[in-house]
C-alpha cells in the first residue's frame, strides 16, 4: 500500500467514538487501516459529551480518541459540534429556535435546532470552538477542521423567528440606508406596501397572498449572508489556533438554499455529502428514471456535484460522506447494486476529489439513523461495502506516483452557475412546478456528459477566457460586468430563458430582458408564458425542437432557427451567441448541444445510455450504470487493452475501467 | 369614432398614475384615446400615497391625475383604497388582521389584510372615503366609484379572529334572541353541544372533528352579512357626496363565498373581473378541457358570469378587468390566442355589458403582478392586445346609434341561483369533492348554451312569470314562498338533487325533501348516496342517462322516466314539473335539456363544439373558441352575408361575427 | 319469537331519547320490539342534559327513558357521557384540550375534546359516572355499561398538550428511574440529544427533522397507558355500584392507536363499531377493490375485526354499532346492496358475537350525523334496513336453543397480533407508505380466509398449544419469553419480515434480528431495503414469489426456497419454522399459505372470489359479497339441501346460507 504522505487520492470514513466503548476504539482504528482508509472524521455531534451545564469541559476522552486514531496511522478531521447544541444549552435561550413559514417553532429533539440570526448562539459556538481549537489545533493527528455540519439540512436556511426578522431589518438598513430607497427599489407603491420605517419590515410570509418578489429576494440574500457570517465566526477562531490545517464544510446534494460560492471564499476545501440513491428517490421527478437507476443513481447526479463543488474553492474538493448501502432518510431506501460503492469512489476521484470518505464506519443500533448502513454492521461485522473500500485502496496502489497527484484539468465547456439566479427563478416559478431551475441546469449538464464532455461548473466571476463553449442556464440577474466580459470572449455562448430578466431587486430591466446581454445579441423578450406539465410545443426549422414549461416571445431583427405553429420564433443566433427562448426537452437539448459543440470546435464522444467518461491528468475513466455491458475499445478508440490500469475491457454494470491515454 | 356621450358600449382600462412619473400621464391618456378607450379606473390601491402617518392627506396629485385624464376625454372610475391599508395604519390596530382556519394571522405584505368584522377599521375606511368623496365627488371627470377591490379575493371572507368571533356572537344574539332557541335550531343536543350563553359560542373550526353544519351555515351567513355592512359604510358616504355617479364593486369569477345578490341591492352596477385563462388553469378540473381550451378559456366561462352578474343589479353590468395577455397568478399562465382579447370584449357586449375595461394599461416592472401583461409592455411600447382594443373600438363605430343602446333581452330560460344554497351543499359535500355545486350549475348552464339558448341567471326573488323554462340547480334551502310562486307559473320547472333539502339552519325538513316543493311534484327523497369520482351509474328508460357523484332514492306514486339496475327510479315528472334525482353527466344533461326545451316550447339551435351565439337587441353574435372554422350561414339560417355588421362569414378560431337579425 | 332470556344471539340498536319528544319514547320502544330487537344502548353523549353549570344533576328524564324501554322488554346498555363534556364544563379547564402535532389546540365544537392526560378531567368523569352508577347501577333494565365512546376516534390518542408532556415526563421517571438510564436506552448520545433531567424531555414532535424512534415509541406507550388509566377510573366506579353488569367499551375498525389487549384486561366484553362501507372508502387503498366491493365492503374487513376483538376478552364480543345504510363520515357514502344489513348481522354471529346492535334507531334531522341513516328515516318511517333487522330476528328464531348458545370454536390457525409491534413498524416506515403494517396482517388473514379457514387472532401471551399453524405477521419487538414458548410448540410457525427486529426501546438487538427467535431458525438479517410502490421483485424456486415494499438480506447456513435475480435468498425453513424475509403480494401469500397448511395438516377449502365460510358450534355459514351466485352444494360437500337452516342453496349476491354440519 502506498504510504499516506505521498498519496493524494485518499479514502476515509466518518466515525463516532462516543457511540462505542472506549475499549473498542483501537480495534476500530486498526480495522480502518486494514481497509486502506487513511482519513477519519470525528466529533461533529458530540457537544453533550464535551461540555456540561455547569460549564465544565470534557475534552480528555476526545484527546484519547484522537491519539488512538492517529496512532493507527489515520489523519483526523475534527468537526465542530455546533449543529447539535444540547438540551441544557438551548433551554437557556428563549429565542434560539428557527421558526417556519407557518409560524411554528422548530424545537429540540433532532439537530440543527438553531436560527442563524440568533446572535447569542454565536457566542456559545465561539466558546466551544475556541476550546477545541486551543486544545487540538496543533495536534499532529489533525489535518483539517469541519465547521458545523450540512448547513441548511432539513430546510434550515430560511427562518422567521424574531431574531431573523430583527436581523433582516438591520440588513435592510445597511443595504438601502433610507426607507424611501428601499420602497423604490422594491416597487412598494404597488398595493400601498410602502414602509415609513425599517422597523415596519417583516418577513415575506404569512401575508394574505403572495408577497413582493423583491421582498422575498432580499430576505433570501439576508439569510444566505447570515450563514456566511455564522460560519466565519468559527473559521476565524480555527485559523487563529490551528495553523496549516484545512478548514472545510460539508455541503449537500441538490441543495441551493444559500450561496455556496460566497461561503466558499473563506474555506480551503469544499466538501460534500453524496447519497446517490437517497437523492434519486427523494428528488427524482421522472418515475422511469427512478426505476431504471434505482440501484445506481442517475448517471450524472454525483458528477454534477463534483464539478459544481470543484468550482467553489479553486479546484480543491472532497467527498466527506459517501453512501455505502441503503440509507434511512429517503422516501424509499433500496440497496445499491454490488460494486456501486467502488464506482462512486472512483467517479469522485475522476472528477478531482482529494478524499473520498464513507459515512459511516458502523451502523448505529439506536436513534434516527439506525437504518443507515455503514462499512460495518451494527454488530461490528463487515457489511458489503467494506470489501469494496478495500478494493478501491488496492486500485489506488496501482497508480503511479505522478497519477496520484491532483490535476484539475480545465474542461473546454463551462457552465456558469449562479445561486441568486436560481433563487430568482424559484421566487417566480409557475405554481404547479413544471420545472425546477436546478433541474434545468442539470439537464444541460447531462446533455454535455452524454456527449462525453468534461465540464467545469463555475461562478460568474470565474476566469472564462480559455473555454470554447460557455453555457448560461441560470444567470437570471442582470450583470453588466459579466455581459461586458462575455462580449470579449472567443467562444460559443449560449443564453437560456430568463437570462438577465431581473435586476438585483427583481425588477424587470427598463430595456427588457436580456438587458445588458442584449449587447451580445439583438433579442428582446416581450412576453413569457408558462405551460402545464403535459403541454409541449414543437418549433420547426432545420431540426424540430420540443419545448415545455416556459416560452418567451422575442422581438428581433434576427431570423430564428425555428418557428412554432403560432409564429413565435425559436433559437436566435448572432455570431457565436445563441439565445434559446424556451425550455427544450432532453432529446432536443442533446441535439442542440451537439450542433453548438460543432460550432465551438469541441469534439464529442456520444455515450451509450448509462455510460460516462472523465479525464483526470493522463488517465481516462469509464463508468457504467446501465444494465448492459460495453466494450471499452468499441467506445473509445484510444482505449487499448494494454493501457488499462485496472478494470475490465468489458465494462459491466457497476463497472469502472481506467486506462492511460495515449 | 363615435362620440363618448352617445355611446353605451364603451371600452376602458385600469391605470395606476402613482406607478409612473407624472410627466408620463398626459401621453398615457392620449395613447388610451388613440386606442378608442373612454373609461379609466384609478386609485384603488393608492392609500400609502393619499395619507401619511401624521394624518395629513395628499390628494393634490390625484386631482392632477384626474384632470389630466379628463382633459384627454376619458371618464374616470375612482376606486376607494380600502383593500390596502398601509403598514403604519395596520400597525395601530392589534386586532385588524383576519385569522385563518388554522389559527394563523394573515398579516401585512400583500393586500386585503383586514378582517371585515374588525369595527375600528370601518372608521378608518370612512375617513379616507369621506376625504375622497368630498374632494372628488362632484368632479365632472368622475362617472363612477368602485368600493374597495374584489371582496373575498385570496379567501378573505371567512375569518376566525377575535373580532370575527365577537361579531358572530353578536349576530347570533340578534338572530336567535335566546340561547335555547339557538340550541334547538342547531340541534345542539347532539353530542352535548348545547350552550348556556351566547358568550360560549366560538367559530366552527379547530374542533376535534367536523363541526355542526348549522354552526357553519350560521357562521357563513354572518360573514356574508359582514361584507355587506362593510361595503355599505362606503356607499352611504359616496352617495352623500357624489350625486349622480354610479357606485359599483368589482366581483370575481368562480367565486361564491358571499351573497352577491345581497350586496348588489345597494349598488348601481355589478362589475366583475374576467380572466378566462386564469380561471381555466386555476379552477378547471377536466384535463382534456384544460388542454383544448388552454388559449381561449372554456366556451361558457365568461358568458356564465356575464349572465350571473347581469342578474344582480337589474340588468346593469360591466367588466371592470379583462385579461389582455398572460396573467401572473394562475398555476400556469399561457398566452391567449391572437384575437381572444377582441373576442372576450364582444362576448361581454353581446351579453349586455355597458363597459369593457382591460386590466391593466401597462405591465408593472416591479412587485407581485410584474408578470401580468397589460395593453402596453413594461417599457411603454404596445403589447399585442393594444391592437385588438383598437379593433374593438373601430367595430363599435360600425353599429347604429340604436344598436349601441343597452337592451337587456329577457331570455326564455331562467336559472335560479342561490348563494346560500350553494354554501349549504359545500358544507355537506363528500370529502373527496366528486362535484362542486357551482360547477354543477355551470354544467346546466353549459348545456343550455350548447343548444344555442340565451339564459338569464336570477335570484330566487326575481320575476319569473315570462320564462318558459325555469331551472333550479342549487335551491337547497327550503323556501315556501318560492314554492308557492313556482306553483303558479306556466312554465317547465326542473328541480335538481338536494332541492329544498335543508331548512335555514340546515335541518332536514320534517316532511323530508323537497319539502315545500312537494306541492309541485309528488316525490319524497328517502335516501342520498355519494359516489367516488370514477363511479357512474346508468338509468335506462326511453333514453339512457349516466349519472355520477350524487344519487337520491325517491318514494313516489309517479312512474320514473328511467330506472337504475338496482331498481332506484330516475327523473320523475308531474305535469310540467321535473325532479332530477341524480347528477347527470354532461352528455346526459344535454339530452335532458333538449327534451325539456321541446316540452317548454323553446326553440334550440345546437352549436358545434366551441361555437356560441347570443342575441342583443336586433343583433346576433357568434363566437368560436374551437380550432375549426365554421360557416355562419350553415349554422344560422338567418345569417345572410349581407346582414353581417362585422366579422367574416367563415367564423375562424377566435373569430367573432355579428349580423342583424331579420 | 324466542324469549330474550334464553337467547344468546341478540339484536339491538343505539337510541338517543334526548333527541326526541318524551311522548315518542314508548312508541319507539314498541317499534324496536316489533323488529325483534332486545338490546338498546343509550346515554353516551347526553352530559349537557344530565348536569347543569350550577352542579345540579338531572337524572329523572333518563330514569323515565330507561323505565319506558325496559317496560317494552328491552335490555339497556347505559353509556357514560364522558366523550362529550359540555361547553360550560370545558370552559372551566384551560388545559383540558388535546393539542395536535402542529401545536394547534383541538377545541370545543364536536366531540372527544379532552386530553387523556389532563388529570382534573378525570375528577369530572368520576363525578358524573358515580352519579349515574349510584342511581342506575342496580336498575333491573340495565344489563351493561359502556365507558365513554370510541376511544381514539378522530385521532385523539396522541396529544401534545402541556398535560400530556407533564404526564410523559412522569411516565419516564417511573419507567427509567434515572436520566442516564433513559439516555442509554434511547441512544441519546446520537446528535447530542442527552438530557440532564427528566424535566427537559418534550414530545417527539415539532423538531427540525425526524425525532428519535425510541422517543416516539416511549411517547406512544405512555399515551396508550393513559387511555387504560382513564378508562379504569370509570370501570372501578361502575363495578362498585353496579354488580353483575357487563362493563364494555366500543372499539373501532382499522384502528390500532392504543393497545386494545391492555385495555381489554379490565373489561368483560370487547365491543366494536362496524362500518364496512365507511372503512372501504376511507381506508381502502386498492381502487379496483373499492369499485368491486363498493356496496358490500371487502370480504374480510368485518371478519378480521370480529376475530381480532373476540381475542380481547376471552372470546366475548359484541358489535355495538352496525352500519344500516349510507353513513355520513367517509369520503364517499354509497348505499349498501339490499341484504347487506342482514349479511353483516349473520357474519357477526357466525364469528361469535353475542349481540349485534345497529347504529342508529332513527336518522337525526340535525347536526353532524344528519346524513347517517338509521333503521328509521328522520321522519320516523322505516328505512330499508328495518325489514332486514326483522328478518334476522325471524331467522334467529329458526335456530335450536343449543345453537343459540355461544360457542367459541378454537380455530386451527392463529395469527399473533401485537399493537406495539404494529406501532414500531409505523415509526420506521418508508415515507412513501408502500405498505401499512396493519394491512399486511390483513393480507395474511385474507389469504387464510380465501382458503376457507377459521382463524383466531390472539395476543402474544395467549395459549398457543392447540394450534397447528401459527402466523407472526407483526411481532416486531423481541420477546424472549414468547420465543421460548414458540420453541416448544408442535406447530408450523411462520415469521414475517421485521420479526424481533427491535428491543422495547427500538434498538436493534445486539445479535441482529430476529434476535431471540433465532433459536427457532438459523437466520440473521444483515440488511433491509424498502422499495417504491411500483417496484416488485421475483424470487424463483419451486414456485415464483412476487414481493414488494420491504426485503431483507439474510445470512444463513440454510438453503432458501427461492432466490432473487441478484442472489438474495427468499423463504428460509428449518424444521417447521419459516422465515419469510420480504412482503409477498397477495397471490404469492395465498400460494405460500396453501403449502404451509399442507405442512401443518390443516385442510383447506378454497373459496371463490367474494365467498366466505365460517363455523360456529354445529352450524356452518356461507356469505357471498361477489356479484355472482354460487351453489352451496358445489362449494361444500357436506352442505346438503336438507341440512339448510335458512338461506338458499343458490347463494346469491348479498346472500347468507346456514346449514347444520354432518
User: Which residue in B366, B373, B374 has the most chain A C-beta atoms within 10 A of its own C-beta, making it the best mutation to test that interface?
Assistant: B366
> Is some CB atom of chain C closer than 8 A to the CB atom of A286?
no
Asked if the Cβ–Cβ distance from A190 to B368 is below 8 Å, we say yes
Average of per-residue pLDDT values in chain C: 96
> Is some CB atom of chain B closer than 8 A to the CB atom of C387?
no
Asked if the Cβ–Cβ distance from C366 to B507 is below 8 Å, we say yes
Higher-pLDDT residue of B408 and A71 is A71
Asked if the Cβ–Cβ distance from B364 to A190 is below 8 Å, we say yes
pLDDT band at C232 (very low <50, low <70, confident <90, very high): very high
Q: What is the pLDDT of residue B12?
A: 98
In the predicted model, what is the mean pLDDT of residues B59-78? 98
> Is some CB atom of chain C closer than 8 A to the CB atom of A292?
no
ipTM here:
0.96
Using the predicted structure, report yes or no on whether residue C5 has a pLDDT greater than 60: no
Taking CA atoms, what residue in C is nearest to B505?
Answer: C366
- Chain A residues close to C208, C-beta within 8 Å: 98, 106-107, 109-113, 154, 156
Q: Which of C150, C354, C388, C403 is catalytic?
A: C150
pTM of the predicted model as reported, rounded to 2 decimal places: 0.97
Q: What is the pLDDT of residue B223?
A: 98
| Dist CA B126 CA C180 (whole Å) | 65
The residues of chain A scoring below 50 in pLDDT are 1-6
Q: What is the pLDDT of residue A5?
A: 45
Q: What is the pLDDT of residue C7?
A: 58
Question: Which residue, chain included where needed, has cell 458530540?
Answer: A46
The alpha carbon torsion through B20, B23, B25, B29 (nearest 10 deg) reads: -140
User: Which residue in B46, B53, B106, B109 has the most chain A C-beta atoms within 10 A of its own C-beta, making it the best mutation to test that interface?
Assistant: B109
Q: Which of C44, C51, C257, C321 is catalytic?
A: C321
Q: What is the pLDDT of residue A407?
A: 61
Q: State the SS3 of C465-534.
A: CCCCEEEECCCCECCHHHHHHHCCCCCEEEECCCCCCECCCCCCCCCCCCHHHHHCCCCEEEEEEECCCC
Residues C136/C195, Cβ–Cβ less than 8 Å: no
Using the predicted structure, report yes or no on whether residue C515 has a pLDDT greater than 50: yes
Q: What is the pLDDT of residue C408?
A: 65
In the predicted model, what is the mean pLDDT of residues B411-439? 92
Using the predicted structure, report yes or no on whether residue B4 has a pLDDT greater than 60: no
User: Which residue in A17, A48, A161 has the most chain C C-beta atoms within 10 A of its own C-beta, making it the best mutation to test that interface?
Assistant: A48
Give which of B298, B315, B293, B295 is closest to B306, Cα–Cα.
B315
* Interval C267-283: pLDDT, tens: 999 999 999 999 999 99
Is C150 a known active-site residue? yes
Percent of chain C residues past pLDDT 70, beyond the cut: 98
| Dist CA C49 CA B51 (whole Å) | 56
* Interval B169-204: pLDDT, tens: 999 999 999 999 999 999 999 999 999 999 999 999
> Is some CB atom of chain A closer than 8 A to the CB atom of B21?
no
Asked if the Cβ–Cβ distance from C379 to B510 is below 8 Å, we say yes
In the predicted model, what is the mean pLDDT of residues B609-636? 95
pLDDT band at C1 (very low <50, low <70, confident <90, very high): very low
From the CA of C360, how many Å to the nearest CA of chain B? 13
Residue B448: which residues within 8 A CB-CB, separation 6 or more?
B413, B415, B455, B471, B593
> Is some CB atom of chain A closer than 8 A to the CB atom of B338?
yes
The answer to whether the bond into A514 is cis (omega within 30° of 0) is yes
**Sign of the alpha-carbon dihedral angle for A127, A133, A135, A136:** positive
> Is some CB atom of chain C closer than 8 A to the CB atom of B529?
yes
User: Which residue in C207, C502, C568 has the most chain A C-beta atoms within 10 A of its own C-beta, making it the best mutation to test that interface?
Assistant: C207
Record the cell numbers describing residue C496, joined without a space.
414475517
Asked if the Cβ–Cβ distance from C189 to A18 is below 8 Å, we say yes
Is C321 a known active-site residue? yes
> Is some CB atom of chain C closer than 8 A to the CB atom of A151?
no
- Chain B residues close to A507, C-beta within 8 Å: 365-366, 370
Rounded to 5, what percent of chain A is helix, strand, coil? Answer: 35, 20, 45
pLDDT band at C638 (very low <50, low <70, confident <90, very high): confident
> Is some CB atom of chain B closer than 8 A to the CB atom of C360?
no
In the predicted model, what is the mean pLDDT of residues C105-134? 98
> Is some CB atom of chain B closer than 8 A to the CB atom of C190?
no
3-state secondary structure at position C352: coil
A with C: how many residue pairs have Cβ under 8 Å apart? 171
Q: What is the pLDDT of residue C402?
A: 78
Asked if the Cβ–Cβ distance from C111 to B209 is below 8 Å, we say yes
Residues A37/A360, Cβ–Cβ less than 8 Å: no
Record the cell numbers describing residue C78, joined without a space.
347505559
* Interval B427-452: pLDDT, tens: 998 776 778 999 999 999 999 999 99
In degrees, to the nearest 5, what angle opens at C-alpha C348 toward C-alphas C344 and C351? 140
List Cα–Cα distances, B582 to A29, B435, B526, B531, B555, in angstroms.
Answer: 75, 12, 13, 11, 14
Give domain limits for chain B.
10-85+118-153+245-404, 413-600, 611-660
Residues C412/C454, Cβ–Cβ less than 8 Å: yes
From the CA of A279, how many Å to the nearest CA of chain C? 14
H runs (alpha helix) in B91-194: 119-136, 162-176, 179-186
* Interval C53-74: pLDDT, tens: 999 999 999 999 999 999 999 9
Domains C10-86+109-154+224-404 and C611-660 share a fold: no
Asked: is A413-600 a CATH 3.40.50.880 domain? The reply is yes
| Dist CA A593 CA B438 (whole Å) | 49
Record the cell numbers describing residue B594, joined without a space.
333538449
- Chain A residues close to B324, C-beta within 8 Å: none
Residue C428 burial by Cβ neighbours in a 10 Å radius (0-12, 13-18, 19+) = buried
Question: Which residue, chain included where needed, has cell 432518510?
Answer: A329
Question: What beta strand segments (E) does B580-651 contain?
Answer: 582-584, 611-616, 619-624, 630-631, 644-646, 650-651
Q: Which of B44, B51, B150, B388 is catalytic?
A: B150
Asked if the Cβ–Cβ distance from C187 to A335 is below 8 Å, we say no
Residue B289: its H or E element: helix B287-292
Kindly report the CATH number that applies to the domain delimited by A611-660: 2.60.40.1180
In the predicted model, what is the mean pLDDT of residues C110-115? 98
pLDDT band at C405 (very low <50, low <70, confident <90, very high): low
Q: What is the pLDDT of residue B406?
A: 58
Residues C69/C76, Cβ–Cβ less than 8 Å: yes
Q: Which residues of B, range 396-455, sit inside 8 Å of C by Cβ?
A: 428, 430-432, 434
Give which of B141, B318, B144 is closest to B243, Cα–Cα.
B144
In degrees, to the nearest 5, what angle opens at C-alpha B14 toward C-alphas B10 and B18? 145
Q: Which residues of C, range 86-115, sit inside 8 Å of A by Cβ?
A: 102-103
Asked if the Cβ–Cβ distance from C84 to B200 is below 8 Å, we say no
> Is some CB atom of chain C closer than 8 A to the CB atom of B189?
yes
Kindly report the CATH number that applies to the domain delimited by A4-98+112-153+245-404: 3.20.20.80
From the CA of B160, how many Å to the nearest CA of chain C? 13
Catalytic amino acids of A? 150, 321
| Dist CA A308 CA A319 (whole Å) | 12
The CATH class for the domain spanning C10-86+109-154+224-404 reads: alpha beta
- Chain B residues close to C156, C-beta within 8 Å: 208
| Dist CA C450 CA C255 (whole Å) | 23
Using the predicted structure, report yes or no on whether residue B407 has a pLDDT greater than 80: no
Of B102, B202, B527, the CB nearest to C109: B202
Average of per-residue pLDDT values in chain B: 96
H runs (alpha helix) in B20-161: 25-34, 47-50, 60-71, 87-90, 119-136
User: Which residue in B116, B281, B368 has the most chain A C-beta atoms within 10 A of its own C-beta, making it the best mutation to test that interface?
Assistant: B368
Q: Which of B44, B51, B257, B321 is catalytic?
A: B321
From the CA of A549, how many Å to the nearest CA of chain B? 9
Give which of B575, B576, B573 is closest to B470, Cα–Cα.
B576
* CATH architecture group of domain B10-85+118-153+245-404: Alpha-Beta Barrel (3.20)
Amino acid at each position: 500500500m502506498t504510504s499516506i504522505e505521498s498519496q493524494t487520492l485518499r479514502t476515509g470514513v466518518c466515525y463516532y467514538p462516543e457511540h462505542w466503548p472506549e475499549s473498542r476504539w483501537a480495534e476500530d482504528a486498526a480495522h480502518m487501516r486494514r481497509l486502506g482508509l487513511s482519513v477519519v472524521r470525528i466529533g461533529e455531534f458530540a457537544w453533550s459529551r464535551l461540555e456540561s451545564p455547569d460549564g465544565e469541559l470534557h475534552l480528555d476522552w476526545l484527546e484519547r480518541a484522537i491519539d488512538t486514531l492517529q496512532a493507527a496511522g489515520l489523519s483526523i478531521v475534527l468537526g465542530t459540534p455546533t449543529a447539535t447544541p444540547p438540551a441544557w444549552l438551548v433551554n437557556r435561550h428563549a429565542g434560539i429556535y428557527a421558526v417556519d413559514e407557518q409560524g411554528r417553532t422548530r424545537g429540540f429533539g433532532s439537530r440543527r435546532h438553531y436560527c442563524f440570526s440568533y446572535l447569542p448562539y454565536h457566542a456559545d459556538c465561539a466558546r466551544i470552538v475556541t476550546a477545541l481549537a486551543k486544545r487540538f489545533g496543533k495536534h499532529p493527528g489533525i489535518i483539517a477542521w469541519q465547521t458545523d455540519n450540512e448547513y441548511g439540512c432539513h430546510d434550515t436556511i430560511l427562518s422567521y423567528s424574531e431574531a431573523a426578522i430583527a436581523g433582516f431589518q438591520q440588513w435592510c438598513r445597511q443595504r438601502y440606508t433610507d426607507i424611501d430607497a428601499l420602497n423604490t427599489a422594491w416597487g412598494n407603491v404597488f398595493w400601498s406596501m410602502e414602509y415609513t420605517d425599517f422597523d415596519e419590515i417583516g418577513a415575506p410570509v404569512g401575508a394574505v397572498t403572495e408577497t413582493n418578489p423583491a421582498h422575498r429576494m432580499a430576505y433570501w440574500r439576508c439569510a444566505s449572508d447570515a450563514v456566511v457570517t455564522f460560519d466565519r465566526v468559527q473559521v476565524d477562531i480555527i485559523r487563529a489556533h490551528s495553523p496549516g490545517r484545512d478548514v472545510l464544510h460539508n455541503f449537500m446534494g441538490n441543495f441551493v438554499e444559500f450561496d455556496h460560492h460566497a461561503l466558499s471564499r473563506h474555506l480551503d476545501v469544499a466538501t460534500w455529502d453524496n447519497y446517490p440513491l437517497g437523492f434519486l428517490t427523494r428528488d427524482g421527478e421522472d418515475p422511469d428514471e427512478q426505476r431504471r437507476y434505482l440501484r445506481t443513481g442517475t448517471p450524472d447526479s454525483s458528477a454534477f456535484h463534483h464539478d459544481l463543488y470543484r468550482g467553489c474553492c479553486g479546484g480543491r474538493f472532497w467527498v466527506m460522506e459517501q453512501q455505502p448501502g441503503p440509507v434511512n432518510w429517503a422516501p424509499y431506501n433500496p440497496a445499491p447494486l454490488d460494486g456501486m460503492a467502488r464506482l462512486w469512489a472512483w467517479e469522485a476521484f475522476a472528477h478531482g476529489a482529494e478524499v473520498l470518505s464513507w459515512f459511516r464506519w458502523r451502523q448505529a443500533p439506536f436513534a434516527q439513523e439506525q437504518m443507515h448502513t455503514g462499512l460495518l454492521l451494527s454488530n461490528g461485522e463487515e457489511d458489503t461495502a467494506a470489501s469494496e473500500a478495500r478494493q478501491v485502496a488496492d486500485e489506488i496502489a496501482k497508480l503511479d506516483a505522478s497519477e496520484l497527484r491532483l490535476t484539475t484539468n480545465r474542461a473546454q465547456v463551462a457552465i456558469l452557475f449562479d445561486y441568486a439566479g436560481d433563487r430568482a427563478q424559484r421566487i417566480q416559478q409557475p405554481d404547479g412546478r413544471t420545472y425546477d431551475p436546478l433541474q434545468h441546469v442539470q439537464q444541460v449538464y447531462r446533455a454535455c456528459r452524454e456527449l462525453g464532455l468534461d465540464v467545469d461548473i463555475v461562478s460568474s466571476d470565474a476566469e472564462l477566457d480559455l473555454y470554447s463553449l460557455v453555457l448560461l442556464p441560470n444567470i437570471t440577474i442582470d450583470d453588466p460586468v459579466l455581459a461586458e466580459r462575455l462580449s470579449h470572449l472567443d467562444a460559443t455562448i449560449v443564453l437560456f430563458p430568463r437570462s438577465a430578466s431581473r435586476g438585483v431587486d427583481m425588477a424587470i430591466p427598463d430595456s427588457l430582458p436580456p438587458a445588458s446581454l442584449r449587447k451580445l445579441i439583438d433579442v428582446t423578450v416581450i412576453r413569457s408564458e408558462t405551460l402545464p406539465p403535459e403541454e409541449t410545443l414543437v418549433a420547426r426549422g432545420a431540426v424540430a425542437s420540443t419545448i415545455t414549461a416556459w416560452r418567451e416571445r422575442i422581438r428581433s431583427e434576427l431570423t430564428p432557427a425555428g418557428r412554432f405553429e403560432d409564429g413565435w420564433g425559436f433559437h436566435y443566433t448572432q455570431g457565436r451567441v445563441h439565445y434559446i427562448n424556451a425550455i427544450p426537452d432532453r432529446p432536443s437539448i442533446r441535439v442542440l448541444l451537439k450542433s453548438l459543440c460543432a460550432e465551438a470546435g469541441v469534439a464529442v464522444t456520444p455515450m451509450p445510455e448509462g455510460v460516462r467518461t472523465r479525464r483526470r491528468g493522463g488517465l481516462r475513466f469509464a463508468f457504467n450504470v446501465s444494465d448492459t455491458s460495453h466494450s471499452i475499445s468499441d467506445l473509445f478508440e484510444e482505449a487499448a487493452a494494454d493501457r488499462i490500469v485496472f478494470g475490465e475491457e468489458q465494462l459491466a454494470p457497476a463497472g469502472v475501467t481506467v486506462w492511460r491515454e495515449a
